[in-house]
Amino acid sequence: MFLKTLIAVLFLGMLASLAAGVGFLLRDDSQSRRLLVSLKIRVTLAALLIALLFYGFFFGGLGEA
């Protein structure tokens, strides 16, 4: 159950980072680096999410009901 909760939290974090990136894209000027930081956070969260999914399926935490 903890693994599923952690996956959901990472996914929601990715969505929040995506929303922040859209806001930065629309509001900030061209010299701002906040959009790049938002992208870095989103890529890191996506890598963690994929790693957790592999872990969950490999060790059977997600594959069985």
pLDDT tens for 32-44 read 899 999 999 999 9
Please report whether residue 64 resides in a domain: no
Q: How many domains does the chain have?
A: 1
Task: Find the domain containing 25 and state its range.
Answer: 2-58
Determine the pLDDT at residue 13. 96
Please report whether residue 49 resides in a domain: yes
Q: Which long-range contacts (CB under 8 A, 24 or more apart) does 18-21 make?
A: 18/42
Q: Residue 12 above 80 pLDDT?
A: yes
Please report whether residue 63 resides in a domain: no
Please report whether residue 45 resides in a domain: yes
Please report whether residue 9 resides in a domain: yes
- Compute CA 14 distance to the chain's CA centroid, rounded to the nearest angstrom: 3
Please report whether residue 18 resides in a domain: yes
